[in-house]
Amino acid sequence: MIGVTVLGATGSIGVSTLDVLARHPDRFRAVALTANTDAERLAEQCRQHRPQYAVMVDPAAAQRLGELLADMPDRPEILTGVEGLEQVSSLPEVGYVMAAIVGAAGLRPTLAAAHAGKRVLLANKESLVVAGALLIQAVADSGAELLPIDSEHNAIFQCLPPNFSDGLAQVGVRRILLTASGGPFRDWPLERLSSVTPEQACAHPTWDMGRKISVDSATMMNKGLEVIEACWLFGTDTDHVQVVVHPQSVIHSLVQYDDGSVLAQLGNPDMRTPIAHAMGWPERMDSGVTPLDLFAVARLDFQEPDFARFPCLRLAFESARAGGTAPAVLNAANEIAVAAFLDRRIDFPGIAAVVEGTLEALPPESVAGQGLEFLLDIDRRAREQAERLVLERR
């Protein structure tokens, strides 16, 4: 029986994870569930999954959770703060940690799980973007496992040979083809983009996700973050990762080999597939996902990405090439800009403008030999700068 901590249990990935977990009660049990502020939802989840620990990051919400669970027999111990998240990520009775918090807020608990030698099921791509070197080193030092949940990276992992960490060139891989849906505005006239509302940006054509990643998909920053994520996970660089727009979201990514072979992973767009894959690996297990019907799909289309329409994708490639602190600055500025867009404080094109302005104001510095505190300081400075740029745009 494998104990599982679900960081971000109340979110889109968290809910899908608990669905998969509940299908295999003989194999997994929830040890800890965490959320930021949604005490009502976490209380329901605690009653259903009976974890030993529940973490509400917000202290007032933690108190509320205590009240909601007051009558529950064997109620979970309630913890709070980032310390609570780190604690439940490194418990001895936990084997797997699902890292499904959104944004750089997921970094500390994800690192804690890596240091503690857990199987880290990584949905929180922002941790790798901000602190890729630290996270990969922590995994190597502790003997943890890092399995990708992001559908594209999970697909690539499935298409690579088991010894891919010897180096992609070494195992005959020429490049990685990272698919992207192109989001809801792929075909919109450019001049209409300034009128995009948060509701339109969050209505993704093929995936049902949290609000931040939905906006990231609409700007294609999500694909940019995923290029950086792929470089860390598979030990490669941006010259070996190509973005391919594929509107149907049926092919989740591909790997091109030296002999001309291209391997792809296909499936319906449902995150329970990569979640079940990573939880069951190296075995396969039921995920509850409807089998793919190729006749219903009928056709698969592919296009080159349009860097003029999607400046965030260009900025992410530039940040990946610049390296050092650039990806952390990119990520922090994007988190601020997306939140400002969702609050209707800036327009949709303003997201890329704020990110670009922040990158210009904070030129890349080396991260060699630097630790977490240095990166968190850069993250804080980039957020402050991005907030200033948001105010200037109003």
Give me the least distance between CB of 154 and Mg ion, in Å please: 9
When CB distances are held under 5 to 8 angstroms depending on the partner's kind, the choice from Mg ion, ligand NAD, none that residue 11 binds is ligand NAD
Residue 186 vs 223, nearer CB to ligand NAD: 223
Residue 36 is a binding residue for ligand NAD (CB under 6 A): yes
Residue 86 vs 152, nearer CB to Mg ion: 152
Residues between 107 and 136 that touch Mg ion (CB under 5 A): none
Residue 88 is a binding residue for ligand NAD (CB under 6 A): no
Closest to 311 measured CA to CA, from 215, 383, 219, 225: 219
3-state secondary structure of 120: strand
Site map (CB under 6 A) of ligand NAD, residues 258-287, x = contact: -------------x----------------
d(CA 348, CA 190): 11
d(CA 31, CA 379): 31
For β-strands 53-56 and 77-80, DSSP reports them as: parallel
Distance of CA 193 to the CA centre of its chain: 25
CB 355 within 8 A of CB 312: yes
DSSP alpha helices (H): ranges in the chain?
12-22, 39-49, 59-68, 81-89, 107-115, 125-142, 151-159, 198-202, 211-219, 221-234, 272-280, 294-297, 311-322, 326-342, 348-361, 372-392
d(CA 190, CA 200): 15
Site map (CB under 6 A) of ligand NAD, residues 129-168, x = contact: ---------------------x------------------
Give me the least distance between CB of 11 and Mg ion, in Å please: 14
Give me the least distance between CB of 261 and ligand NAD, in Å please: 27
CB 365 within 8 A of CB 325: yes
CB 156 within 8 A of CB 231: no
Residue 213 vs 264, nearer CB to ligand NAD: 213
Size of the site for Mg ion (CB under 5 A): 3
Give me the least distance between CB of 150 and Mg ion, in Å please: 4
Site map (CB under 5 A) of Mg ion, residues 133-152, x = contact: -----------------xxx
Q: Which two tokens stand for residue 372?
A: 């977490």
Q: Which of 46, 78, 101, 155 binds ligand NAD (CB under 6 A)?
A: 101
Site map (CB under 6 A) of ligand NAD, residues 51-80, x = contact: ------x-----------------------
Q: Which residues bind Mg ion (CB under 5 A)?
A: 150-152
Q: Which residues bind ligand NAD (CB under 6 A)?
A: 8-14, 35-36, 38, 57, 100-102, 105, 123-126, 150, 207, 209-210, 212-213, 271
